[in-house]
Structure 1
Amino acid sequence: MTRKILIIGGGFAGLWTALGAARVVDQQGDKADDVEITLVSPRAELHVRPRLHETHPEQMAVPFLPILNAINVKFIEGTVERIHPSDRIVDIQTATGQTLAFPYDRMVLTSGSRLFRPPLPGLAEHAFAVDQLDEAVKLREHLEGLASKPDTAARNTFVVVGGGFTGLEVATELPERLRKIFGDTMRPRIVIVERADAIGPDLGPGPRPQIVEALEQLNIETRIGGGVVSFDANGVVTATGERIDAATVIWTGGMVASALTTQVVPTVDRQGRLEVTEDLRVTGAKDVFGAGDVVRALTDDDGHYSLMSCQHALFMGRFAGYNVAADLLGLPTKAYRQAFYATCLDLGSWGAVYTEGWDRQVKLVRAEGKERKIMINTQWIYPPAADREQALAAGDPEISYA
């Protein structure tokens, strides 16, 4: 009788979970020849979300079906509508319109996150975003279309709502993107609106001097201490009462976990994430593991927990894949640990700032930081080749880039 592992989600965590699980199955040989691994996702491609703020977001989709075929992982193109953990069944709406009741013996939830959009007046109707590929393409088309619009102050004003990691990368990339569209004929006004009392609040004071320096060099304005309270077709109003007329407003207001989490267990944290044990098993759901943005996982012995980032999703995926297969096969599981933590913030033509440690000690800046960012974005976070040996090796949870 076939034993089934189901992975829900084809992002960083999901794809690397598949690699990790397939690696265990391959190593066990005949002992695991009845194990079937299936990944379900709305599309057979990995969207490289950390790069969707760049000039050509449509190029940030990497087909992964050849990789899954190489490691004998089945694929269902579809969307999970409902999880029934007590029955170990999920309801899947396939891309062809079929409804499947798919049984599993073990499941890994890796359905990721989505942009948090509070019910602010006009936000849904008038703000752009770079959270999903289609949204990033819509923004690109809008920016390119501005060249045919009348030359007004509003056309040339760009408001980025949110001064966190994504907002900073979006804002600092804009000058170069606009130069490619307009040449040197337009002097854009770019304004970051951040509700906290400092720019880059979650990044802490370590890299802040470099961030401020980059913003000043790129002539990017900031408004701190008050967020945007309303949006309309012609701009925004901030909490301080300031009106900013702008034809382009980009929302980067944080992330929340996939709504599927509460179908596994009802208790989640403020970001909608599931609590998990050290081996990434969902607390209260013994046959379900989780990885990536849907879980809050302890990363080290100093009390630091995972963030919604591909950095953590990649490594968690390897551990979740190993553990779900090991658990099914009666092998010991491994405690997820990812002691090394780094951030690399792209700051447009200024360069980038690379930090290490949870206190974010600055290690590389400007061109050297940019070189590290390019390596991360074009090599480290990309899937392996569709070669069985290479792909299975990439699923090793002991891999480290520290």
Structure 2
Amino acid sequence: MRLVIIGAGFAGMYAALSSARLRDIAGASPKRIKITLIAPQPSLVVRPRLYEPHPDRMTAPLGPLLAAIDVDYVKGSAQTIDTAARTVDIVAADGGRTTLEYDRLVLATGSRLFKPNLPGLAEHGFSVDSYDDAVALDRHLHGLTKQPPSVARNTVVVAGGGFTGIEAATELPARLRAILGNDAKPRVVIVERGEVVGPDMGPGPRPLIEAALAKLDIEARLGVGVAALDASGVTLSDGARIDAATVVWAAGMRAAPLTAQIPAERDNLGRLLVDRQLRVPGVAGVFATGDAAHAASDDIGNTALMSCQHATRMGAFAGHNAAAELLELPTRTYHQEAYVTCLDLGTAGALFTRGWERDVEMTGEEAKTAKREINTVWIYPPSAERAAALASADPERVTAL
């Protein structure tokens, strides 16, 4: 029997760990229950850190870890899923094709930045959504030193004032000064269609976010959007013009396109609706997890967000349950009542909240210390030591925070 996991992000990594853990507990051999992970590279992109300098360093190897827990790695991109035949077609970088049969499938394909069909966005917009995108932005920022000093050269427009947009924007003044010199006068402008910055953060943290933006001299254009981009800046929906050498798009996420191949119901973000065991109803043998899944996280109406925090634990439950079905063992009900946020605010510190109401628990340097711990320790893969790695994947104990 074969359990196939598509994706090597936080959800896919923990699906592999937890399924291997249950296989071990049940005393089943890797030959009896084969666990296979498909991904373009055997590495975890530490996506929550891609807004930071040196994004080329934001990966962690998974090859030794997968080998230690007897999970097969297949290098390539899943191209086609046939849920009737229970097969996945894989395309390698050289164009070669492979087909894998599965008995259980865990779809952990993550999410992508939503890019509308705006004039100039594809040609002139940057992002911190993927490893390649973040590296391209970093190269572009360093390339600004070849341009003559000007207000436009020193200006960055960040389109989107949500969590990612705020973290990218608040990091940029220090990044630009490090690249252009301390005499440079960076100008960072957040453009947000909503009436407030951080609309999803709620009213409690908002004054602290606004104070941080003011401290960093970051402007906010609210109630407008970017209508068009060109090589020298952006035109806003109200007709205003901002000359800028750099535009960072951070306006919304959607589930990865592969989820569209599963014949099941999806939400408005493209996520597959799943039951409390993370199965896709009506599609035999298929589980969805992480950013690919719309899942209830408790019994009072909260649903998992597109976040590392939720993907890690969801992945552990999905992997456990997929393996449990093959081993004819009881499955577990996914639940994740605890919820925190830790928002980086650049040199203005950070903001730590707890609960769905986002009650502020830490600010300033105290929160910044917590953010560093999260970003540099807690979200990284466990060591490639079999017993410790498997022990880390008990679904009831897994948490990214």
Cα distance in 2 for residues equivalent to 1:383 and 1:101: 28
Cα distance in 1 for residues equivalent to 2:30 and 2:80: 28
Query: Which of 100, 105, 108 is 1:107 aligned to?
Result: 105
Q: Do structure 1's residue 397 and structure 2's residue 400 form an aligned pair?
A: no
Check the 8 A contact 1:76/1:94 in 2, yes or no.
no
Cα distance in 2 for residues equivalent to 1:149 and 1:254: 31
Matches within 5 A, 1:1-400: 3-30=1-28, 34-399=32-397
Cα distance in 2 for residues equivalent to 1:185 and 1:31: 63
Cα displacement string for residues 341-387 of structure 1 (whole angstroms, at most 9, x for unaligned residues): 00000000010000000110000001011011111111111100000
Cα distance in 2 for residues equivalent to 1:230 and 1:57: 27
Cα displacement string for residues 313-364 of structure 1 (whole angstroms, at most 9, x for unaligned residues): 0000110111000011111100000110000000000100000001100000
Deviation at 1:399? 0.9
Which residue type is aligned with residue 61 of structure 1?
Answer: T
Cα distance in 2 for residues equivalent to 1:156 and 1:43: 35
Which residue type is aligned with residue 246 of structure 2?
Answer: T
Cα displacement string for residues 87-115 of structure 1 (whole angstroms, at most 9, x for unaligned residues): 10111112343211210000000011111
Check the 8 A contact 1:43/1:78 in 2, yes or no.
yes
Deviation at 1:268? 1.1
Tell me the SS of whatever aligns to 2:27: helix
Cα displacement string for residues 142-193 of structure 1 (whole angstroms, at most 9, x for unaligned residues): 1111112111111111100000000000000001111211221111111000
Cα distance in 2 for residues equivalent to 1:95 and 1:20: 28
Cα distance in 2 for residues equivalent to 1:164 and 1:265: 31
Tell me the SS of whatever aligns to 1:260: helix
Cα distance in 2 for residues equivalent to 1:31 and 1:176: 52
CA RMSD of aligned residues (A): 1.1
Which residue type is aligned with residue 162 of structure 1?
Answer: G
Question: Higher mean Cα deviation, 68-77 or 198-207?
Answer: 198-207
Structure 1 residue runs without a partner (length 5+):
none
Cα distance in 2 for residues equivalent to 1:140 and 1:289: 36
Check the 8 A contact 1:191/1:220 in 2, yes or no.
yes
Check the 8 A contact 2:312/2:398 in 1, yes or no.
no
Change (3 A) 1:65 1:271: same
Equivalent pairs, count: 400
Check the 8 A contact 1:172/1:349 in 2, yes or no.
yes
Cα distance in 2 for residues equivalent to 1:192 and 1:97: 41
Cα distance in 2 for residues equivalent to 1:160 and 1:332: 47
Cα distance in 2 for residues equivalent to 1:265 and 1:82: 13
Cα displacement string for residues 179-226 of structure 1 (whole angstroms, at most 9, x for unaligned residues): 211221111111000000110011111210110000000000000001
Which residue type is aligned with residue 358 of structure 1?
Answer: W
Check the 8 A contact 1:318/1:395 in 2, yes or no.
yes
Check the 8 A contact 2:316/2:398 in 1, yes or no.
no
**Scaled by the length of structure 1, what TM-score is found?**
0.98
Which residue type is aligned with residue 73 of structure 1?
Answer: V
